[in-house]
Amino acid sequence: MHELSIALNILDIVQEECRKADSATVTEVVIRVGTLSGVDTQALTTCLHVASRETLMQDACIRIDRQQGRGFCAGCQQEFDMEDILTPCPECYQPATDLREGQEMLIESIIVD
């Protein structure tokens, strides 16, 4: 399960940051997930809640920001919004020739107490 390994990875990073900040509680974690990253945000939220039980992160508010994906069509020379990896060009209905934004999955901020 892809999302569980991502959740465990996030938890590792958050715990490491807590150690550095010499802090015992995480109050908020904001994660940015692009619509083209292939990450299921619903599944990720569930996995994060499960993975963070009995850790520094168990009472943290976990927020997931979705980053709009953008693709480029070489035929029409234009950029367009993509809801997922299969969203075609709105002009010619061809798949995007290039993905410009929305492939990232990163921790945007960690607030500790």
**To the nearest whole angstrom, how small is the minimum distance from the Cβ of residue 89 to Zn ion?**
3
Cβ at position 75, least distance to Zn ion in Å: 5
Instruction: Report the alpha-carbon angle 68-65-46, nearest 5.
Output: 120
Binding site residues, Zn ion, CB under 5 A: 73, 75-76, 89, 91-92
At closest approach, how far in Å is the CB of 109 from Zn ion?
36
CA 92: distance to chain centroid? Answer: 29
In the complex with Zn ion, which residue's Cβ is closer, 43 or 80?
80
For Zn ion, the closer CB: 68 or 97 = 97
At residue 9, the 3 state secondary structure works out as: helix
